[in-house]
Amino acid sequence: MAQTSKNIAIIGSGLVGSLLAIYLRKKGHSVTVFDRRPDIRTIKFSGRSINLAMSNRGWTALRKVGLEDPIKQIAIPLDKRAMHVNDKPVYYQKYGKEGEAIWSISRGILNKRMIDLAEEAGTVFKFNEKVWDVDLPGAKIYTGESEKGEWQEYQFDVIFGCDGAFSRVRHKMQRRSRFNYSQNFIDVGYKELTIPANADGTHKLDKNSFHIWPRGEFMLIAMPNIDGSFTCTLFLPFEGKVSFESIKTEQEAKDFFKEYFPNVRMEIEDLTKDFFNHPTSAMVTMKCYPWTYWNKVALVGDSAHAIVPFYGQGMNAGFEDIFVLDQLMDKYGDDWDAIFDTYQKVRKPNADAIAELSYRNFVEMSSKTADPKFLLQKKIEKHFASTHPEKWVPVYSRVTFSDKPYADALAIGDQQEAIMQKVMQTPNIEDKWDSKEVEEMILGLLGDQ
Amino acid sequence: MAQTSKNIAIIGSGLVGSLLAIYLRKKGHSVTVFDRRPDIRTIKFSGRSINLAMSNRGWTALRKVGLEDPIKQIAIPLDKRAMHVNDKPVYYQKYGKEGEAIWSISRGILNKRMIDLAEEAGTVFKFNEKVWDVDLPGAKIYTGESEKGEWQEYQFDVIFGCDGAFSRVRHKMQRRSRFNYSQNFIDVGYKELTIPANADGTHKLDKNSFHIWPRGEFMLIAMPNIDGSFTCTLFLPFEGKVSFESIKTEQEAKDFFKEYFPNVRMEIEDLTKDFFNHPTSAMVTMKCYPWTYWNKVALVGDSAHAIVPFYGQGMNAGFEDIFVLDQLMDKYGDDWDAIFDTYQKVRKPNADAIAELSYRNFVEMSSKTADPKFLLQKKIEKHFASTHPEKWVPVYSRVTFSDKPYADALAIGDQQEAIMQKVMQTPNIEDKWDSKEVEEMILGLLGDQ
């Protein structure tokens, strides 16, 4: 169904805001994007970002507006994890089937490119313009130099809040009665570090791997950039015996890397300088409901559902929001009440599911990767999945390489876990993990469901 | 340990704010209380309050500063529930043992009295003074006519946020990183109604009962006031077949009361007028952490832990916060870091526990009171508790008539529930609920723990 052209404001020029602008321009709407920060294309990027892992849902949303190919040019496919354990050779774990990969992209490069594309599509960007208040029923926004200074009023037909985990737009909704909201920080923080390219521009580590140095309570990861460098992220508890709090001097930072990351520390550029210059960032799971106000205002992406990054799905989930919104606009035309109400009802359970899966991955990475029983369970699952691929799709694949709802992935994952809990109680399971008996047991348990 | 006199601000002149002022004056501090609203003693009360049920924890906190007797003069003891089921005589359930009661107090009358008492103790009250911002590390507050107008700055040594579920002080803390926060509204709202006194000033219903008209998805309650009236509260879903949303006209309101509350509707004053004049209020569970900022700022009462009212513990929990703070001031003297850090660590698990218990009571009242199996279970518990009072203290008594931590009540309640789940699986339990066999079974299960 066609839509009448509306005058639409998007708050936030991040990845979700700029992709939404492109979608809305395709539908013929006037689009103005406000951002309180300067144009990211004119400044040095912050040194506090984790590289993005674009997977199936992200590509699906980009493909719809013809952006899959241009964005793939700034992305690198990773088809496997590279696990770095001290005193052992690196070992590799394939992510999925042949041809399945996640794609590493620098957030800064992608965001700049997306803003370029949105601008080419006719979006008006207003950078350095701070939104201080939103009149939700009136679809008005108020901007100005400071919260207490003079404000300018803008009237729109529809407003989208794409202003991230600490959204001003949501903040306004949050003060209303019957608005459910939660923000929960985890006790682990992260810090960005860099492995530069070789002199000839090639990568110092395998370019098509997601590199992980798991160390129990903490870990280092590295993802490749197209300039030959890697963006590394150190995840470490804020407080405790080995923690950001406990590393206060350059010597302590050096000792920490020497002890835990001896094989990579020499590759990291400006290790101790960056360690103290780059901020230590926190990670939050944010949930809220409702996501919309009448037919006037909707939250999209992190402003509606911020998640911890351990499933690599934050951007993908936000892009999928847009893909779903677009389908609902096709379906409901000018009935923005129906568009917004269906949008929040469809997306909320999926957002909750990927929040839960992401949090569980954090727990799994922190505390289970060293547990032999857990590793055996994963080995059995993998073996069974390769024998019966039609009967057992791993949750990771369902999340990363399919368009099936996140909520289904969570539910099916819980069923699989219940089955595996029973399987793991089999006496001497470690000796017969790949036996016909175990295979038959799983088949039987699957049949019971 | 004695404390050096400090210059202390309290934000909020509600029950918790005014009692805290009295405590702090006893310790010799200068106390200024700010409230954005007018002096409650000068205005008509709002018509949106549920009567309070003061129980053991509340009295303990009042007793410490000599207020038990003066406040008992404006309270009425309720030693039982009076259950009103249509077409059946009223039946009574004792709350506890002989002499145990909860006390009904009008929020308005209590709050006025508490402000009087705080003022007599030397507290300075600044009404109609709106706090717009708080400098947490600087312990400064900023007030003014409007958020955008001129502000006045005040410097204090310590600030207490006693400004309720929608606290401005907490709001300021909430924008900081690593502040955990949640607000969850239930789908049921409430509305205040009144049963006036008889012409001779006596009560129209039994004065020493907490009156309940349970109707499954909704209910009416009534609590006595000292002037002979009852404050009634109608709890009803916001949306749905029978809901606030579905009652739009005076006729619909009349029909609703005629169908569900035929025996009390004639007693209620201005029924249809009040129904539409009084606001429909929402109920929220609010949790957050941390509750304090350095040695400068602390949240007390609803600003730290708002709960739904179905256990009658909101005010009691807030008063207990103050009682605990006072003990910690005695213990740690001028070490406000220790006072605040211990306060939040001690109180947080108890606040979470009473939030959970209150929410469960809501679920229980909404959906289980009509379930014969549930009622049988309660009957068995009561029978066992009366036979073995030293082995089985009901959770309600532990919460309401003891000073034991809420967290213990929750944990012991969960153990009791686990035992009862097993007991309820006994074949023909309905025929032998008071048998020796069941008694022995419970004793055995208690012994296993």
Domain ranges in chain B are 7-51+106-185+284-361, 188-277, 371-448
DSSP secondary structure of B286-334: EEEE--EETTTEEE-GGGTEE--GGGS-HHHHHHHHHHHHHHHHHHHTT
- Segment holding B142, helix H or strand E: strand B140-144
Residue B364: pLDDT band with limits 50, 70, 90: confident
How far apart, in whole angstroms, are the C-alpha atoms of residue B401 and residue A276?
54
More confident residue, A49 or B440: B440
Mutate: best of B142, B148, B172, partner A, most A CBs <10 A: B148
CB-based contact A142:A169 (threshold 8 Å) = no
What is the pLDDT at residue B65? Answer: 97
CA atoms within 13 A of residue A298's CA, in its CB half-sphere: 25
Mutation target for A interface from B150, B151, B183: give the one with most A CBs within 10 A.
B183
Report the C-alpha gap between B355 and B410 in whole angstroms: 10
Q: What rounded mean pLDDT belongs to chain B?
A: 95
Report the mean per-residue pLDDT for chain A: 95
User: Which of B166, B181, B282 has its CB closest to that of A182?
Assistant: B181
Write down the pLDDT at residue A171: 93
Burial of A144 (C-beta count, 10 Å sphere; 0-12/13-18/19+): middle
**Residue B347 token pair:** 């109180």
- Contact between A240 and A246 (Cβ < 8 Å): yes
pLDDT at residue number A36: 96
Residue to mutate among A48, A146, A148, with most B CBs inside 10 A, is A148
Give the Cα separation of B167 and B181 in Å (integer). Answer: 12
| pLDDT for position B19 | 98
pLDDT of residue A317 exceeding 70, the answer is: yes
The closest of A231, A204, A222 to A261, measured between CA atoms, is A222
Of all residues in chain A, the one with the smallest CA distance to B285 is: A180
Q: How far is B38 from chain A (nearest CA, A)?
A: 22
| pLDDT at residue A66 tops 90 | yes
Q: For residue A449, what pLDDT is reported?
A: 63
Residue-level pLDDT at B189? 97
Judging contacts by C-beta atoms under 8 Å, the chain B residues touching residue A153 are: none
Binary contact (A175, B166; C-beta < 8 A): yes
Determine the pLDDT at residue A233: 95
**Inter-chain CB proximity B181 and A179 less than 8 Å:** no
Between CA B384 and CA B442 the distance in angstroms is: 8
Cα separation, A180 vs B284, in Å, equals 9
Question: pLDDT tens-digit profile of B132-170?
Answer: 999 999 999 999 999 889 999 999 999 999 999 999 999
Nearest in space to A9 (alpha carbons), one of A36, A29, A28: A29
Residues in a beta bridge with B285: B184
Whether the per-residue pLDDT at A46 is higher than 70: the answer is: no
Distance from CA of A225 to the nearest CA of B (A): 29
Name chain A contacts of B245, Cβ cutoff 8 Å. none
A394 vs A379: CA distance, rounded Å = 12
Q: What pLDDT sits at residue A236? A: 97
The residue type found at A125 is F
Residue A384 CA to residue A314 CA, distance in Å, equals 29
**C-alpha distances in Å from residue A184, one per residue of A188, A357, B382:** 12, 15, 40
Name chain A contacts of B178, Cβ cutoff 8 Å: 185, 238, 282
Q: Do A185 and B185 touch (CB under 8 A)?
A: no
A370, pLDDT greater than 80: no
pLDDT at B434 over 80: yes
- Contact between chains at A184 and B180 (C-beta distance less than 8 A): yes
Distance of CA A159 to the CA centre of its chain: 23
Q: For tokens 């009136």, what's the residue?
A: A138
Is the sign of the CA dihedral B434, B440, B442, B446 positive or negative? positive
B184–A185 CB contact, under 8 Å = no
| Closest chain B residue to A171, measured at CA | B175
Nearest-CA residue of chain B relative to A147?
B148
* Same-fold call for A7-45+107-183+286-361 versus A52-105+187-282: yes
Q: Which residue has the tokens 């009008």?
A: B106
| Nearest chain A Cα distance for residue B171, angstroms | 10
Q: Residue holding tokens 């006719």?
A: A122
CA separation for the pair A228, A221 (Å, rounded): 16
For residues B422 and A423, what is the distance between their CA atoms, to the nearest angstrom?
27
| Minimum distance, in Å, between the CA of residue B284 and any CA atom of chain A | 8
User: B284-289 and B140-144 as β-strands: parallel, antiparallel, unpaired?
Assistant: unpaired
Nearest to B282 among A174, A175, A177 (CB): A177
Helices B372-387, B436-448: axis angle to 10 degrees equals: 80
pLDDT of residue B176: 86
pLDDT higher than 70, residue B210: yes
pLDDT tens digits for range B236-278: 999 999 999 999 999 999 999 999 999 999 999 888 899 999 9
Position B202 confidence tier, pLDDT thresholds 50, 70, 90? very high
Strand-by-strand arrangement of the A305-306 sheet: A305-306, A284-289, A180-185, B180-185, B284-289, B305-306
**Of A177, A181, A238, which has the smallest distance from its Cβ to B182's Cβ?**
A181
Helix, strand, coil tally for chain B in percent (to 5): 40, 20, 40
Question: How far are the Cα atoms of A19, A61, A163, A198, A304 from residue A318, in angstroms, in the given order?
Answer: 10, 10, 12, 35, 9
Contact A132, A94 (CB under 8 A): no
Give A288 to chain B, closest Cα distance, Å: 9
First CA to last CA across chain A, in angstroms?
40
The C-alpha atoms of residue B379 and residue B385 are separated, in whole angstroms, by 10
User: Per CB distance under 8 Å, which residues of B are interface residues toward A?
Assistant: 147-148, 166, 174-175, 177-185, 238, 282
Q: Given a cut of 90, is residue A227 above it in pLDDT?
A: yes
Does residue A448 carry a pLDDT above 80? no
- Strand order of the sheet with strand B124-126? B124-126, B30-34, B7-11, B158-161, B297-299, B292-293
Task: Name the residue of chain A whose CA is nearest to B289's CA.
Answer: A184
Percent of chain A with pLDDT over 70: 98
Nearest to B359 by CA among B291, B286, B281: B286
Contacts of A146 in chain B (CB under 8 A): none
Q: Tell me the C-alpha distance between B71 and B113, whole Å.
A: 8
* Residue A49, pLDDT above cutoff 90: no
Residues of chain B in contact with residue A175, where contact means CB-CB under 8 angstroms, are: 166
Fold of the A7-45+107-183+286-361 domain: FAD/NAD(P)-binding domain (3.50.50)
**A181 chain-B contacts, CB cut-off 8 A:** 181-183
Distance from C-alpha of A220 to C-alpha of A256, rounded to nearest angstrom: 12
Model confidence pLDDT, tens digit, residues B289-308: 999 999 999 999 999 999 99
Query: Reduced to 3 states, what is the DSSP secondary structure of residue B94?
Result: strand
Fold of A52-105+187-282: FAD/NAD(P)-binding domain (3.50.50)
Q: Quick one: average pLDDT of A416-424?
A: 96
Tell me the CA distances in angstroms from B42 to B11, B115, B122, B145, one per residue in order.
Answer: 19, 12, 20, 20
* Interface contact B181-A181, CB threshold 8 A: yes
3-state secondary structure chain A: CCCCCCEEEEECCCHHHHHHHHHHHHCCCEEEEECCCCCHHHCCCCCCCCCEEECHHHHHHHHHCCCHHHHHCCCEEECEEEECCCCCCCEEEECCCCCCCEEEECHHHHHHHHHHHHHHCCCEEECCCCEEEEECCCCEEEECCCCCCCCEEEECCEEEECCCCCCHHHHHHHCCCCCEEEEEECCEEEEEEEECCCCCCCCCCCCCEEEEEECCCCEEEEEECCCCCEEEEEEEECCCCCCCCCCCCHHHHHHHHHHHCCCCCCCCCCHHHHHHHCCCECCEEEEEECCEECCCEEECHHHCEECCHHHCCHHHHHHHHHHHHHHHHHHHCCCHHHHHHHHHHHHHHHHHHHHHHHHHHHHHHHHHCCCHHHHHHHHHHHHHHHHCCCCCCCHHHHHHCCCCCHHHHHHHHHHHHHHHHHHCCCCCCCCCCCCHHHHHHHHHHHHHC
Give the model's pLDDT for residue B46.
61
Give pLDDT, residue B87: 87
Contacts of A238 in chain B (CB under 8 A): 178
Question: Which pLDDT score is estimated for A365?
Answer: 77
The CATH code of the domain at B7-51+106-185+284-361 is 3.50.50.60
Q: Which of A208-217, A351-360, B32-41, B358-367 has the lowest mean pLDDT?
A: B358-367
Record: contact B177-A148, CB cut-off 8 A: no
> At which residue do the structure tokens 């892009």 appear?
A319
Tell me the two tokens of residue A320.
């999928």
Strand partners, A77: A103
Is the bond into A290 cis (omega within 30 degrees of 0)? Answer: yes
- Give the separation between CA A445 and CA B270, rounded to whole angstroms: 63
Residues of A with CB under 8 A from a CB of B: 147-148, 166, 174-175, 177-185, 238, 282
Q: According to the model, what pLDDT value does residue A368 have? A: 74
Q: What tens digit of pLDDT does each residue of A97-141 get?
A: 889 999 999 999 999 999 999 999 999 999 999 999 999 999 999
